[in-house]
A and B are shown apart, each in its own frame.
Chain A
Amino acid sequence: EDQVTQSPEALRLQEGESSSLNCSYTVSGLRGLFWYRQDPGKGPEFLFTLYSAGEEKEKERLKATLTKKESFLHITAPKPEDSATYLCAVQSSYKLIFGSGTRLLVRP
């Protein structure tokens, strides 16, 4: 059964304190791993797609990496505006299967 597990459930950081979010997955034939950002009361906003182990992508303070079993979202020197829920998902056939997310709070 395809499954996505994210950890930690919640993370509190001071502004400037770098950290990583984890996404472990099991899927029969990975067609893509996706990272989204979701603000309260809004739809998820696309961040990255990774397709193969060893692939990395960056956007501002965020960097996503992929191995055969997990993905990491690294946040370097975060700012309060980075506070949000970060969702990881894997594509299986036509569907995206999501993890439960990591709620990130960055304090000034």
Chain B
Amino acid sequence: SQTIHQWPATLVQPVGSPLSLECTVEGTSNPNLYWYRQAAGRGLQLLFYSVGIGQISSEVPQNLSASRPQDRQFILSSKKLLLSDSGFYLCAWSLTGEGYTFGSGTRLTVV
């Protein structure tokens, strides 16, 4: 069966520090991969999606970047965090034509 792993679960980082969140999927090949952010009490905002290795599409201009170094690995990064980067970050995967499966999320607090 397919599983998605996302870590860390919580993270507190100072303003100006770098960020790296990792997401891996097991049990499937060539999945579509996604990074979403959820602000408190609000819906999910799509940040990046990838339909293959090295193929990254950005939805919202911002202080973040994404990379897909391997088929089932998706990384969200920042060189210098801003206070506004705080939020709940969710990774998800899907196969074309099917629904999304989400990870457990990372609660990021920038202080």
Contacts and interface: CB of A to CB of B under 8 A. Distances in A.
Indicate the size class of the contact surface on chain B. Answer: 20 to 34
A66 interface: no
Contacts of B7: none
Contacts of B34: 95-96
Main secondary structure of the interface of A (DSSP, over half): strand
Indicate the size class of the contact surface on chain A. Answer: 20 to 34
B44 A42 contact: no
A46 B99 contact: yes
A29 to B, nearest CB: 13
Main secondary structure of the interface of B (DSSP, over half): strand
A43 B51 contact: no
Nearest to B39: A100
Interface of A: 4, 31-32, 34, 36, 41-46, 49, 87, 89, 94-101
Interface of B: 6, 32, 34, 36, 42-46, 49, 51, 59, 88, 90, 92, 96-97, 99-105, 107
16 contacts: A34-B99, A36-B102, A41-B88, A43-B6, A43-B90, A44-B90, A44-B102, A45-B102, A46-B100, A94-B32, A95-B49, A96-B44, A97-B46, A98-B44, A99-B43, A101-B42
